[in-house]
Chains A and B, each alone.
Chain A
Amino acid sequence: MGTQEKKRSSKKPAGTTTKGSKTKGYRTIKSPPKRGTVSVAAVRRAVRKVLRESGEERRPGTR
């Protein structure tokens, strides 16, 4: 072969996840070890509702 094929590195670039999306090189929030008396889905809805009402909700398409 006349041209040398560029060797691909198996190492991921810094600051990327396995899906290739950028991270902030930051800690992740861990889930609590035990269940409470309310469901995770209900808590998530309540949190999002409160953030939405105060104009602090997550921007669409940023996930």
Chain B
Amino acid sequence: MGPQDYNQSVFINCPFDEKYKSLFRAIIFAVYDSGFVARCALEEDDGSQVRVQKIYDMISRCRLGIHDLSRVQIDRASRLPRFNMPLELGAFLGAKYFGVDEQKNKACLILDSMEFRYQKFISDIAGQDIRAHGNDIGRAIGIVRNWLRTYSRTSIPSGSVILSRYARFRKKLPAMCGDLNLNTTELIYNDFVLLVTEWLREDYEAS
């Protein structure tokens, strides 16, 4: 892995459930449209590797990280919150603090649904870059784009441009999937990302 790969890789620490899917896909799209590479646990399909080890390896390969804590909430059945996202955020911050060389350059964006909600369950992260997306796709895209702009050496489109491109991509997605004999609702992560990158390249060259 070259330094360029490390600097342009963004670790995505988000929920993978159905309710979050629209936000998740919008964030992935924004990362690629900003010229970065999204890295996420869903891209690995190696059952022989321990899940947490897989995540640590991925964190070590990414300079940047987007951590969404908006789904840290009480589960109706278990009456307990899900804590995978804060755990992975802790691993990322630990790598920055205790790591050596390029690991020290790590930077992260923390997302939540509401401003200051995090103070009620993880107040120690105060002082980090924390933004509220309000479960809104447009706002999430804008936040991700503006944050990534700080780490980009080239010009990247505005949040509203990425949002309108994403809307056009979503409109075309069923037709593209139909042509590939894929079902939009069953689309696996790696296929979704491939569709995003190829569509962005063609769309960019056509414009």
Measured CB to CB, the residues of A under 8 A from B are: 24-38, 40, 42-51, 53-54, 56-59, 62-63
The answer to whether the Cβ of B206 comes within 8 Å of any Cβ in the partner chain is yes
Q: How many A-B residue pairs have CB under 8 A?
A: 97
Chain B binding surface SS class: helix
Q: In this complex, what residue of A is CB-closest to B179?
A: A46
* B161-183 residues at the A interface, CB under 8 angstroms: 172, 175-176, 179-180, 182
Establish whether residues A30 and B194, one from each chain, have CB atoms under 8 Å apart when the complex forms.
Answer: no
**In the assembly, what is the distance between CA of A59 and CA of B83, in Å?**
49
Establish whether residues B201 and A38, one from each chain, have CB atoms under 8 Å apart when the complex forms.
Answer: no
Q: In this complex, what residue of A is CB-closest to B58?
A: A33
Binary interface encoding of chain B residues 65-76 relative to chain A, with 1 for a CB under 8 A from any of its CBs, else 0: 000000000000
Query: Which of these, B8, B37, B152, B205, contacts A62 with CB under 8 Å?
Result: B205
The answer to whether the Cβ of B44 comes within 8 Å of any Cβ in the partner chain is yes
- Chain B count of residues within 8 A CB distance of the other chain: 36
Measured CB to CB, the residues of B under 8 A from A are: 8, 32-37, 39, 43-44, 152, 154-156, 172, 175-176, 179-180, 182, 188, 190-191, 193-195, 197-206
Q: In this complex, what residue of B is CB-closest to A51?
A: B202
**In the assembly, what is the distance between CA of A58 and CA of B78, in Å?**
52
User: Given contacts A32-B43, A32-B197, A50-B172, could you give 6 more A-B pairs where the C-beta distance is less than 8 Å?
Assistant: A26-B156, A34-B44, A40-B198, A43-B198, A50-B175, A50-B179
